[in-house]
Structure 1
């Protein structure tokens, strides 16, 4: 009787450990997908010269075209490592970003057959959502004015493209999906 209760207790403990590992993997995947989407949002494709943009180019950019999706998932890999996990796949197809991770740690030995040494695996998807912004004034190309839902007016100087990383979060949101 005592042996049976001890076995059941150990089995529950093993199942709990599996849940913890699965949650750790999911947390790492979520963080990786969000980081990959944010990194793409905050960096424009190499070669884009915002100073030469015309009004229609700005409209395309505000619609979500122009992000650097070829960033090799650098932010996703970094966040997975911080969560003691490794990225097994990282894909981007605008506006979606998917990251799959595997934990670097295992369940360890267990009384439950078949789960000893298992690693957690999880996949997460994130998306970039526009904040319904539109070009208000393109002017002479020295400054651009953009108005977003909620009425906030944003003025941007295209001759300082490094400021895009600060502007992008005001124009686009990043969220987990699925």
Structure 2
């Protein structure tokens, strides 16, 4: 003997089933929106990091060019190694360029001393459409800071040393340069004199 089907129970379960499925679908869309926001934010941070490093590297290259030009005048070495060159233009154009290459725009570029640069950027793309209405027009912003660290030290020469001798550059990892004023073809490179890295 077969039992009769209870259609009333099935009818009551259907709205619950629809509610549960709808809730799960909403959660899935919400997680997707969070994922979109995370990817957008990550892109903004990548752009900010690249921009800050570009500004610092541009300033480093300017300092090395100044040092190379004045290498025979060791009285100027100290101020150059401290970031105080004579003909330094703002390196923020490089930061703007790198932000643009990473699909963002630079909001600000500020030097904090001659060897420290902070950059703020905003993504060109929004977070996209999702169940969270604000993401359609929301752009991610990010901040980054890069610093230049000198890698070499030197002892000033005695006053009576003359022009035939230049100070020895003692650098990281035991490297050193004894620069011959008559033979300036083997000068240290930018990466030998300064390190550029992100902080924070």
Q: CA deviation at 1:149?
A: 3.1
Secondary structure at the counterpart of residue 44 of structure 1 = helix
Pick one of 76, 95, 114 that aligns with 1:57. 76
Cα deviation, 1:86-140, whole Å, max 9, x if unaligned, reads: 1111111322101111111111111014222211110100001111422577862
Which structure shows the bigger proportion of residues in strand conformation? 1
Structure 2 unaligned segments of length 5 or more: list them: 1-19
In the alignment, which residue of structure 2 is the partner of 1:89? 108
In the alignment, which residue of structure 2 is the partner of 1:176? 198
Distance 1:72 1:64, change over 3 A: closer
Structure 1 unaligned segments of length 5 or more: list them: none
In the alignment, which residue of structure 1 is the partner of 2:17? none
Q: Does 1:3 align with 2:22?
A: yes
Equivalents in 1 of 2:102, 2:87: separation in Å?
25
Q: Does 1:110 align with 2:130?
A: yes
Alignment of 1:116-127 (within 5 A): 116-127=136-147
Secondary structure at the counterpart of residue 114 of structure 1 = helix
In the alignment, which residue of structure 1 is the partner of 2:41? 22
Q: Does 1:71 align with 2:94?
A: no
Which structure has the bigger radius of gyration? 2
Equivalents in 2 of 1:41, 1:26: separation in Å?
22
Secondary structure at the counterpart of residue 111 of structure 1 = coil
TM-score, L = length of structure 2: 0.73
Secondary structure at the counterpart of residue 84 of structure 2 = coil
Equivalents in 2 of 1:113, 1:158: separation in Å?
67
Secondary structure at the counterpart of residue 189 of structure 2 = helix
Q: CA deviation at 1:39?
A: 0.6
**RMSD across aligned C-alpha pairs, in angstroms?**
3.2
Distance 1:151 1:113, change over 3 A: same
